[in-house]
Amino acid sequence: MAFDREDTMFLVVMNHEQQYSIWPDFKAVPAGWSTVREAASKAECLAWIEANWTDMRPASLREAMGA
């Protein structure tokens, strides 16, 4: 599987709720997700997510709570 290979490059993707994930760069990004960081190693993508996803609540919950 591509997620287990050290040589796989990944994208950081985000859904409409502003939740992040990684996705192999050789696969089409699934519907409902958009690319927010160019292809990089798995470790670099996960580090980017850790640094930038500081509030894990879905966007709709943050809005409902008035954040």
Q: Which of the four pLDDT bands, split at 50, 70 and 90, describes residue 55?
A: confident
At 55, is the secondary structure helix, strand, or coil? coil
The stretch 40-53 carries a mean pLDDT of 96
CATH superfamily of 2-64: Structural Genomics, Unknown Function 30-nov-00 1gh9 Mol_id (3.90.820.10)
pLDDT at 57: 86
Question: Higher confidence at residue 6 or residue 44?
Answer: 44
pTM of this structure? 0.83
Count Cβ neighbours within 10 Å for each residue of 19-53 and write b for 16 or more, e otherwise.
ebebbbbeeeeeeebeeebebbebeebeebbeeee
